[in-house]
Amino acid sequence: MTLRTKLTLVCSIALLIVGGVSLLSFRWTQRADEDQHWVTHTRMVLGKLDAVVINVLSAETEQRAYLLTREASHLIAYKEALNSTQREVDEVRELTADNPGQQQTLKQLEPLISKKISELREQVTAHTVKSIQPPTPAPYANIEGEATQHIRSLITAMKATEESLLTERLAAAQASSRRMKVVIVLGNMLAVVFFAVAALVIYEEMGKRRKVEDFLRQSEERFRLMAERVKEYAIFMLGPGGHVASWNEGAQRIKGYHADEIIGQHFSRFYPEEDVMRGKPDYELKVAAEQGQVEDEGWRIRKDGTRFWANVVITALRDERGILRGFAKVSRDMTERRRAEDEIKRQNALLAAANKELDAFSYSVAHDLRAPLRAIDGFSQALLQDYQEHIPEDGRMYLERIRAGATRMAQLIEDLLTLAQISRHEIAHSEVDLSRIAEEVAAQLPTSEEGRAVQFSIAPGLFVSGDRRLLRIALENLIGNAYKFTSKQPAAQIEFGRQNGGGESVFFIRDNGPGFDMQYADKLFGVFQRLHRDSEFPGTGVGLATVQRIVHRHGGRIWADAAVGKGATFYFVL
């Protein structure tokens, strides 16, 4: 049941009670009035009855006084009393018209009274006509006689009837008055209770609403304070027409206006003139109103006229009926970021130029440095071939050294070019089967040469995401190294596998070659750094640098573990 229904119900009941009580009181008041009327009526009847008796007695007394004294005043009083008697009897008849019992009694009474009056008149007439002597007054008992007593008794009976009626009516009036009091008191109490219940419900509801309102107000307040204090973003409201309605610290900081001077102004003043000419501010409001939100990035104007690059989001604010109330506008000063982006672009352009130069350099190295080496080697060989008999043993040995130097230099150039290429090469990620590459690399190594016995142990199915070409170069170098450094091992063992280390997949290549002293481990991956003499194990010192660069370009790590005479293991994580 909703609050409204509840309240309506309770109040209706209370009103009904009040209405009912009022109606009852009205009706009972009416009844009481009637009762009162009847009481008065009865009392009047009683009075009249008394008056009848008094008048009859008075008429008799005055008549007797007249007969004795002959004084006219008694005669007048006697006649007066007679008239009154007749009048009172008539009134009693009228008053008791509603009471058949009383009328009946009255009917018995009237002839008695008439008879009494006649007697009295006869006595007066006889006396006046027959003698001037005072008549012998009739004895009291006689005069009083039967008639008067009868009248008295009838009137007494009538009075008794009226009195009992009076008692009855008074009792009824009292009872109804009591009832009325009870009903009025109880009814009003009940109504009060219902009204109290309604008041309680309203009070409780008001309390609840106040709590909700307080909560909302606090929440709004908090939000407002938060928005006001945000410094990184300009957060402010616009009216439906685009006039600034609120302002925060960020807006002040970014745009330079104080709240006092900007609230009420149209927001188009934040836009550069050319944008205003093109109608951009209004267009953005229009789009926001139609689509709910619009986002834009562009130049805006500060109070001092300087420009800043802003990211702007305008959100339309609608009430629950969908009527546009205004807009929330959030702007961010992106000038620094844009500057940084521009700087990155510039640096990238520089880098690209540098790379291009490096490219040209490598290209040149590839061509131009190799040609003289080819000449050195070619013509040394030509000397050896064409002038063999003219060159002594030493000379031939020198020429061979020249040739070896040229070959070595060519190899160095080759390795350096590879290293340079790896830096320039764009990593193309794909699923790479390292096991298969390792097998292929191993297969290309001359295992049977020089009576070498090399046992390769390559774990199958080792896949990794990476650049196939670069990973092949890495494995060629690592496996090639292992092969080279086990050349003096009668039973060379080279193992490629994967193990778990700290939740990572760690690949490793292990050999049982001479190993190395770990104190020189930091030199392993440096360009041209070697831990062995060239006469022991030939090499350019570029291979591991190349491998490290490949691993780094994959975002991985490489390290080694070895001990002199105990072989070496190279680990890498991609």
Partner 1 sequence: MTTNEAVILLVEDNPDDEMLTIRGLKQNRIHNEIIIAHDGVEALDYLFGTGQFTGRDLSVVPQVVLLDLKLPKINGLEVLKRVREDERTRLLPVVILTSSNEERDRIQGYDLGANSYVRKPVDFGEFSEAVRQLGLYWLILNQAAPAGRSK
Q: Which residues bind partner 1 (CB under 8 A)?
A: 362-363, 366-368, 370-375, 377-382, 403, 406-407, 410
- Judging by beta carbons within 10 Å of its beta carbon (0-12, 13-18, 19+), is residue 573 exposed, middle or buried? middle
Distance in Å, CB of 380 to partner 1, minimum: 8
Distance in Å, CB of 556 to partner 1, minimum: 24
Distance in Å, CB of 422 to partner 1, minimum: 13
| Category of 565 on φ-ψ map: left (φ > 0), alpha (ψ -120 to 50) or beta | left
Name the residue nearer to partner 1 (CB basis): 377 or 476: 377
Name the residue nearer to partner 1 (CB basis): 360 or 453: 360
Name the residue nearer to partner 1 (CB basis): 58 or 380: 380
- Structure tokens belonging to residue 356: 């291009």
Distance in Å, CB of 371 to partner 1, minimum: 5
* All residues at 6 or more sequence positions from 285 whose CB lies less than 8 Å from its CB, including other chains: 238, 242, 314, 327
Strand order from edge to edge, sheet including 233-238: 233-238, 324-333, 307-318, 293-301
Name the residue nearer to partner 1 (CB basis): 383 or 459: 383
Q: Distance (Å, rounded) from C-alpha 217 to C-alpha 314?
A: 25
Cβ count near 510 (within 10 Å): 19
Q: Distance (Å, rounded) from C-alpha 514 to C-alpha 400?
A: 30
Distance in Å, CB of 360 to partner 1, minimum: 11
Distance in Å, CB of 410 to partner 1, minimum: 4
Name the residue nearer to partner 1 (CB basis): 165 or 373: 373
Q: Distance (Å, rounded) from C-alpha 113 to C-alpha 557?
A: 149
Alpha helix positions (H), 391-502:
393-424, 434-444, 468-485
Name the residue nearer to partner 1 (CB basis): 223 or 363: 363
Name the residue nearer to partner 1 (CB basis): 315 or 381: 381
Distance in Å, CB of 378 to partner 1, minimum: 4
Name the residue nearer to partner 1 (CB basis): 373 or 478: 373
Cβ count near 288 (within 10 Å): 23
* All residues at 6 or more sequence positions from 447 whose CB lies less than 8 Å from its CB, including other chains: 453, 454
- Structure tokens belonging to residue 555: 């975002």
Q: Which of 401, 405, 410 has its CA nearest to residue 369?
A: 410
Name the residue nearer to partner 1 (CB basis): 425 or 498: 425
Secondary structure E strands in 171-240: 233-238
Distance in Å, CB of 375 to partner 1, minimum: 4
- Phi–psi pair at 312, nearest 5 degrees: -125, 135
Distance in Å, CB of 398 to partner 1, minimum: 16
Name the residue nearer to partner 1 (CB basis): 268 or 362: 362
- C-alpha count within 13 angstroms, C-beta hemisphere, residue 360: 5
Strand order from edge to edge, sheet including 454-458: 454-458, 492-501, 504-511, 568-573, 557-562
Distance in Å, CB of 290 to partner 1, minimum: 52
